[in-house]
Copies of this chain bind each other. A is one copy, B any other.
């Protein structure tokens, strides 16, 4: 078999890095569960007609076919490209067995055949939380689901993230109040503020969307409002646009910002940023994009919002609100940059040394006693010189080496454990010895350690 080269866009983690990813996923899951969200997993395939909706992502779908299929057989299944499409289908398929409002979280890979680059992969893991109702879903769930993700990301050992909120009712009401007909088009032009200077965007609004120069100016003014509290309400009012939908949007956005600020520690920023639009396809109220300090080049590391029809079977409509966090998009660059690293590539906290191959049973007994008390360990693979066995532990980051030695005169067995970092070697009893809690499991070494844990 020839030399293996990596497959572009399909990154894999080494064991110590995977330990970090596992810790992050476990932390997210625990927070989601504290808020009453149940975990589900969906199958990874969906009928192609459910995936392909005419959007940009369509051409990136991976379709699937049995290798033994007839040459002209039509492919019917594709890999999901996000966790929203399969969740919507899951809700429809299993509605009779679910209780609504249904709170779920889902941490799974998704696949997109796009050009790989930093933060963009062909296989990537996402963590989604959503609340979905049957027929109706009160607005307070918008606050709830966003606050859950604020809480969850605040507990991760990653750089500060900022939640930038807006509300589609606010934008639509404002534009309508201004007298702009084609709200969709106007938003698409305003979205270019990232790349073009304001003058240029104003010119495009007039030329392409048909606004007056004054309307264009108001749109720009709205889009540049960005504050960390609810003062945006007054700033928008000061622009002198009156509309009922705008009022509702302002009220909702203020409630989301306040609700999220209440749970955000100093690891998470919460802002109203009235430029955020998040496409126009299915969001109908709250929208959010999440950015990570120092990693603005990744664009958003998460996002979501309210959709009045997550799913519908013709009779019943299921409105929802949710937010997605890009686990791979966030962690892979942080691991590559060394901002995050695993403390060791093995779970073992102890290597039980081996005197001779004949003594393996004695070492295995010590290992069994340690495991009975939840201490992960392994027995040395070969009865090498002790110096070599210690170096074996060292290379794997195993902090302790255990020695079992029979006194040649009395035959009594002496147990000793050596902390190979300090060199300290002490008598120990396999039935009672316990390592410090910090050594017990592989941990995450982060430039952004968690403060409260």
Contact = CB atoms under 8 A, between A and B. Distances in A.
A179 interface: no
Interface in A359-382: 360, 368, 371, 374-379, 381-382
**Number of copies of this chain that the complex holds:** 2
A68 interface: yes
A357 B75 CA distance: 50
Interface in A223-260: none
A39 interface: yes
B376 A45 contact: no
A6 B97 CA distance: 14
Contact of A67 (B39, B63, B98, B104): B63
Interface string A80-111: 00000000011011100111010110000100
A235 to B, nearest CB: 26
A438 interface: no
26 contacts: A1-B311, A1-B312, A4-B92, A7-B43, A10-B45, A13-B41, A14-B98, A15-B98, A19-B39, A34-B371, A35-B371, A35-B377, A36-B346, A36-B347, A38-B346, A48-B67, A52-B67, A60-B68, A61-B67, A62-B65, A63-B64, A63-B67, A99-B346, A99-B396, A138-B382, A141-B381
A343 to B, nearest CB: 12
Given A19-B39, A60-B68, 12 more contacts: A11-B43, A12-B43, A12-B93, A15-B98, A19-B38, A34-B347, A34-B375, A35-B371, A52-B67, A64-B64, A138-B382, A144-B379
Interface in A1-60: 1-7, 10-15, 18-19, 22, 33-45, 47-48, 52, 58-60
A210 interface: no
B39 A64 contact: no
Q: Which 3 A-B pairs have the closest CB atoms?
A: A36-B378, A59-B68, A66-B113
A374 B15 contact: no
B12 A374 contact: no
Nearest to A365: B262
Contacts of A98: 14-15
A36 B392 CA distance: 14
A188 to B, nearest CB: 23
A324 interface: no
A34 B59 CA distance: 45
A7 B45 contact: yes
Nearest to A92: B4
Contacts of A33: 347, 376, 441
A255 to B, nearest CB: 11
Given A40-B18, A43-B7, A378 B346 contact: no
A12, A22, A75, A375 interface centre (most CB from chain B within 10 Å): A12
A377 B36 contact: yes
B312 A376 contact: no
A238 to B, nearest CB: 29
A114 to B, nearest CB: 9
A443 interface: no
A12 B357 CA distance: 48
A22 B108 CA distance: 13
Nearest to A113: B66
Contacts of A68: 59-60, 113
Nearest to A77: B7
Nearest to A395: B99
A314 interface: yes
A61 B52 contact: no
Contacts of A7: 43, 45, 47, 77
B40 A123 contact: no
A43 B10 contact: yes
Contacts of A345: 38, 99
